[in-house]
Amino acid sequence: MIRVLLVDDHAVVRTGFRLLLQSHPEVCVVGEADSGETACQRYDELTPDVLVMDLAMPGMGGLEALKRIRAHDPQARVLALSAHDDPMHARRAFREGALGFLSKRSAPEALMEAVTAVAASRRYIDVSLAQKLALADIEGAAKSPVERLSEREFEVFVRLASGASVQRIADDLKLSASTVGTHLYNIKQKLGVSNQSELTLLAIRHGLIEA
């Protein structure tokens, strides 16, 4: 029996994943969480075999939660979920210790494949995304200035590039507007851009958002 903890800030998404997983007799969803903070707490309480966690959540966020859980338990087996299927999100998840990465756009059966692989301590990544990662490395995308952003800066960058306002990002991530403003300043300095249009173009160029 594979014991799974589901983490996503959208209840509908968690319900869908739970139904998919529990249709397999060898999987049991032992708990759910709607934030990175709750994920850390519930992981300690439940010690699941696999943690299935969305990367983009308000507050702490999935990447920071992944980092803290792995620091506390280096044997934690985490499958990172993302609405994005670009190499940069996957690379960051693996860098923080995820064993698997799955786009929410993947076919439903891929979720079970991914959970089974991660439960067995095997790495999992969708074939098409693995190809994108390989091509990105060959083409030198790994040396992109975007890679210099911290995890929180990266999260703010993607939201800004998608058109979200500073106040909206502050509300979503449970940060002060001044903190988001500081992140924005650092992002512009590191990326060498001066306005939101340039941020958006850069994000499109790297496949982080769709045009």
Q: How do residues 87-142 score in pLDDT, each as one tens digit?
A: 888 888 998 899 999 988 888 889 999 999 999 999 999 877 877 777 666 665 55
Cα–Cα distance for residue pair 111/104, rounded to 1 Å = 9
Cβ-based neighbours of 22, under 8 Å, separated by 6 or more: 28, 29
Nearest CA to 52 among 67, 44, 61, 62? 62
pLDDT winner (highest mean) among 142-151, 170-179, 184-193:
184-193
Neighbours of 118 (CB within 10 A): 26
Instruction: Answer with the one of 102, 122, 137 that is the final residue of a domain.
Output: 137
97 and 178 part of one domain: no
- pTM score, two decimals? 0.77
23 and 127 part of one domain: yes
Instruction: Answer with the one of 95, 120, 137 that is the final residue of a domain.
Output: 137
Strand arrangement, sheet containing 2-7: 27-33, 2-7, 50-54, 78-82, 100-103, 124-125
